Amino acid sequence: MAFKWFYRILSKATASSKEDYAINCRAAIYRTPADTAKDYHNPIIENFRGDNRLFIAAEIDDNHDLKAIAKLAHTHPEVKFLVTPPIINEERLNRMAWHFSGNTRLYSQCTPETALDKVQILIIDYIADRQHLYEFGTWCYMGHGISDSPIDAAIPVACGLRTCSCPPIRKEPFCRSLIRRGVISVVRNSTQLNEWFCRHMDCHDIGQIPSHTTGAIHDNTSVI
């Protein structure tokens, strides 16, 4: 079902050029995480999440992202964060560990039996199956590493996450259309990120397409 909504989002938003049509065709064969969630399990992340809701900090790529997420985590110690950098190397992981001082763990340091109940931030230091990670989340911030990928930007929306992004996402015509419809919010600094999160922190629509999203999608029901 989420695949159909995702496809319809892309259908109208990307119909303006041959290049966008190619993106649309790729989306037609792309399976969103909600389509495969019943087949996907990650014991480490399930152990980390427990009964909590997760904030997905996706493609966190620079100091601006790191400072914003670190401040949000410090302000809301009761919330757990799953953080994914777009490029994985020792220098980046060390920089993230420095910003996220406190209860932070690398995914590669964990097993399904690792005690993670007191860990607030789990850094995903592998690449495979990242698209499935949104299935575990409730909220999502898309960092600077995702701004050049319009399809990736739509995945958290298709999974029903409350989604915000850094300003560079405005460069993509498709992403601008999602912002214009109110599907994705743009936050420019840590203060705006915290204000956005406080407005949405009582959200319980895990795994569902938000009503404001479906309203925008219903205006775009033609499928190629």
> Tens digit of pLDDT for each residue in 116-140?
999 999 999 988 787 889 999 999 9
Q: 43 vs 102, which has greater pLDDT?
A: 43
Q: What is the mean pLDDT of residues 93-119?
A: 91
β-pairing, 184-186 with 121-123?
unpaired
What integer best gives the mean pLDDT of the chain? 76
Q: What is the mean pLDDT of residues 181-191?
A: 90
Range with the lowest mean pLDDT among 14-28, 29-43, 47-61, 147-161?
14-28
Q: 162 vs 131, which has greater pLDDT?
A: 162
Summarised one tens digit per residue, pLDDT across range 21-44 is 334 433 433 444 444 445 788 999
What is the C-alpha to C-alpha distance for residues 155 and 161, in angstroms, rounded to an integer?
Answer: 9
Residue 20 has pLDDT above 80, yes or no: no
Helix axes 173-180, 150-158, angle to 10 degrees: 30
Q: 63 vs 19, which has greater pLDDT?
A: 63
